[in-house]
Amino acid sequence: RKEVEQDPGPFNVPEGATVAFNCTYSNSASQSFFWYRQDCRKEPKLLMSVYSSGNEDGRFTAQLNRASQYISLLIRDSKLSDSATYLCGSSNTGKLIFGQGTTLQVKP
Amino acid sequence: NAGVMQNPRHLVRRRGQEARLRCSPMKGHSHVYWYRQLPEEGLKFMVYLQKENIIDESGMPKERFSAEFPKEGPSILRIQQVVRGDSAAYFCASSVPGSYEQYFGPGTRLTVT
């Protein structure tokens, strides 16, 4: 079993839709969680850190559920520019363990 | 504030040659991480370094690969006697002490012919 797992998708949604991604992790010692965005296999860009209390940044909301060992990312009012691969990552000793990534395609 | 810098951006090597990849962390960041992304695969951790110290090299292949982060100068990932399977994008990331938020450089695309 992979330490961090994501549904690879692709998720094809129309502009304006709300879309949610989940990511599960198996290492209960993981302390920190992140969502990154990667465009066309360029460098990953940090989208959000994920806190136990949940956090929101504009159209993006991230949640952490420690009991069930998953994190989620909700994107509201999708834009064409949101099309990308979204990577979730977990860390407990500094190194980041990433999932395979979930591909999102927002259509006009 | 300059971001993480990597060079070269593209590197072509013949089988058996050596590849040296460089990474300069963001200003104020003293922790460096190297990751590899093989074609059609996810990002895999390789090594975590602080100045003059390897913290975690659990993701490094046992042979041919080495990394350093000297007191002065960039971090170097060195691959000796490259093989076709080493062709990948190599990303460097950096963070400040005490934070696991990592910021990535643009990567070095290594092609082994």
Q: What is the pLDDT of residues A31-69, one digit of tens each?
A: 899 999 999 989 999 999 997 788 999 999 999 999 999
Q: Would you call A32 and B100 a contact, using CB atoms and an 8 Å cutoff?
A: yes
- How many percent of chain B have pLDDT more than 90? 90
| Lookup result for tokens 């599960």 | A24
CB–CB contacts below 8 A, A to B: 56
**Which of B100, B103, B108 is the best substitution to test chain A (most A C-beta atoms within 10 A)?**
B100
- Among the partner residues A41, A91, A97, nearest to B37 by beta-carbon distance: A41
- pLDDT computed for residue B1 by the predictor: 56
Average pLDDT over residues A70-97: 95
| Residue B30: its H or E element | none
pLDDT on residue A2: 85
The answer to whether the beta carbons of residues B75 and B55 sit under 8 Å apart is no
The yes-or-no verdict on residue B106 having pLDDT over 70 is: yes
| Region B101-106 average pLDDT | 96
**In this predicted structure, what is the pLDDT of residue A28?**
87
Of A3-12, A47-56, B8-17, B98-107, the one with minimum mean pLDDT is: A47-56
